[in-house]
Amino acid sequence: MAILVTGGAGYIGAHVVRALERAGLESVVVDDLSSGHREFVRPEVPFIDLNVLHAKQLVDQLAEHDIEAVIHLAAFKYAGVSVERPAHTWRQNAGGTLSLLRAMERLDIGAIVFSSTAAVYGTPDVETVTEDTATNPESPYGESKLVGEWMIRDQAHATGLRHTSLRYFNVVGSGEPDLYDSSPHNLFPLVIRALTQGHRPRIFGDDYPTPDGTCVRDYVHVADLAEAHVTAVRRLLAGNELERVYNLGNGEGVSVRQIMQSVSDATGIAFEPEVMGRRPGDPARIVASGALAARDLDWKLTHTLDDMVASAWASRPVEPAD
C-alpha cells in the first residue's frame, strides 16, 4: 500500500515524501516537473513524470501501484502571476484536481489531503483568521484552490471519499539539506538569491498600516507542515473524523522587515534592503490561528523563525553570481 503524492518533486511535496518515509509509509510521486526537481525524489521512490491533467494515463500508470490515499500538492502556486495567467492557473489547479478526482474514483482510492492556501481568504478584516473567517480570494490562484476544496467536498458527498484541505500560510525553511524552495516569486528564495548574487534584497512597500510599514505574514516551517500531512493521511485512513478545512498557521505575525533582519543575523551579511513600491494584490497582514489543526492534526511549530531562516540559507542552491 502506498500514498500518492502529486507534486512530490516540489518544495513542499518532497518534504512530505521524506516525512512519509520516516513514518514508514511508502509514496508514489506524480509530477510533471514544471516547477519541481527530479533530484528531490530519491531513486527508490516510484516516480511518474506526468501532468495530472492526463486522466487516462494517470489511471493506467497508477493501476500498477496499490494506492490507498492521495496527498494532492501539484499546482501552479504563484498568486501574483495567476492574475496575468488565469486560464493556465484554472487549467492546472481546478482542471488538475478534477482530473485527479476522476482517476481516484476509477481506481477506488478513498482518501485525499488537499493543499489549499491562505490566499482563499484574500484580505481578511480580522486580526486572526480562523476556519470560520469568510473566504474572499483575490486572485485566480486563490479562487482555483477554493474551487478545488469544493470539488473535493462535492465528490465526497457523492462517493464517500474521505478528505481534508490544509490551508497553508507562508511556508518557508528547509527540513533537509538537499531540498529548497526555488520559487522565483516568494520572499525567502528572492532574498537568498539576491544575497548570493551580491544584490540588495527588496521590500515591496513600506507604507502599509502595520507597525513598521511592511507586510505581516504568518510563517511556518516546511518540516512541521510536512508532519501535519502524515498525521492527516493516517487519521483519514484510520477512519477518524477530520474537519473539511484546517488553517496551518501559528498565530504570530512577522513583518518583511523583521525577516530581513533575521536573514542578516543568520547569514552575518549586513545589508540595507531596497524599498520598492507595493506589489499588487498583497494584503497588509494575514495571520491565522492553528488551534483547530493543533487539536486534530497534532499541529505544532517546533521551529523558530531563526530556524526557518537559517535552514533556508543552509540549503540554498548553488547559483552562479551574475
Ligand X SMILES: NC(=O)c1ccc[n+]([C@@H]2O[C@H](COP(=O)([O-])OP(=O)(O)OC[C@H]3O[C@@H](n4cnc5c(N)ncnc54)[C@H](O)[C@@H]3O)[C@@H](O)[C@H]2O)c1
Single residue of 9, 45, 94, 187 touching ligand GDU by CB under 6 A? 187
Decide whether 110 or 124 has the Cβ nearer to ligand GDU: 124
- Report what 279 binds from ligand GDU, ligand X, none; CB cut-off 5-8 Å by kind: ligand GDU
* Contact region with ligand GDU (CB under 6 A), list: 54-62, 84-92, 202-210, 295-303: 202-210
Residues facing 288 on adjacent strands:
129
Single residue of 202, 251, 291, 315 touching ligand GDU by CB under 6 A? 202
Q: Assess 236 for contact with ligand X (CB under 6 A).
A: no
Decide whether 155 or 250 has the Cβ nearer to ligand GDU: 250
- Structural element, H or E, at residue 2: strand 2-6
User: 3-state secondary structure string, 79-143?
Assistant: HHHHHHCHHHHHHHHHHHHHHHHHHHHHHCCCEEEEEEEHHHHCCCCCCCECCCCCCCCCCHHHH
With beta carbons less than 8 A apart as the criterion, state whether 146 and 135 touch: yes
Alpha helices in 118-249 (DSSP H): 140-159, 187-196, 222-237
**All 3 cell numbers of residue 130?**
480562523
Site for ligand GDU in 63-122 (CB under 6 A): 77-79, 117-119
Single residue of 4, 41, 71, 73 touching ligand X by CB under 6 A? 73
Q: Assess 245 for contact with ligand GDU (CB under 6 A).
A: no
Q: Assess 6 for contact with ligand GDU (CB under 6 A).
A: no
Please tell me the total number of residues recorded for the chain in this structure: 322
Decide whether 98 or 215 has the Cβ nearer to ligand GDU: 215
Question: Can you point out the beta strands (E) in 218-273?
Answer: 219-221, 245-248, 254-255
Number of H helices, E strands in the chain: 11, 13
* Contact region with ligand X (CB under 6 A), list: 24-32, 132-140, 239-247, 287-295: 24-32
Q: Assess 90 for contact with ligand X (CB under 6 A).
A: no
Torsion over CA: 236, 241, 243, 246 (sign): negative
Q: How far apart are CA 128 and CA 247, in angstroms?
A: 11
Minimum Å gap between C-beta 192 and ligand X is 14
Q: Assess 7 for contact with ligand X (CB under 6 A).
A: yes
Burial class from Cβ neighbours inside 10 Å (0-12, 13-18, 19+) for residue 210 reads middle
Q: Assess 193 for contact with ligand GDU (CB under 6 A).
A: no
Q: Assess 12 for contact with ligand X (CB under 6 A).
A: yes
Phi, psi of 164 (to 5 degrees): -155, 155
Q: How far apart are CA 213 and CA 298, in angstroms?
A: 34
- Reply yes or no on whether 168 is catalytic: no
Residue 145 identity (one-letter amino acid): K
- Structural element, H or E, at residue 269: none
* Residue from 141, 180, 219, 246 carrying the catalytic annotation: 141
- Report what 11 binds from ligand X, ligand GDU, none; CB cut-off 5-8 Å by kind: ligand X
Residue number closest to ligand GDU, CB atom? 215
Decide whether 271 or 283 has the Cβ nearer to ligand X: 283
Residue 194 three-state SS: helix
* Contact region with ligand X (CB under 6 A), list: 8-16, 151-159, 196-204, 227-235: 8-16
- Report what 74 binds from ligand GDU, ligand X, none; CB cut-off 5-8 Å by kind: ligand X
| Interface with ligand GDU (CB under 6 A) | 77-79, 117-119, 170, 185-187, 190, 202-204, 215, 217, 256, 279, 282
Q: Which residues are marked as active site?
A: 141
| Interface with ligand X (CB under 6 A) | 6-7, 9-13, 30-36, 51-53, 73-77, 92, 96, 115, 117, 168, 170-171
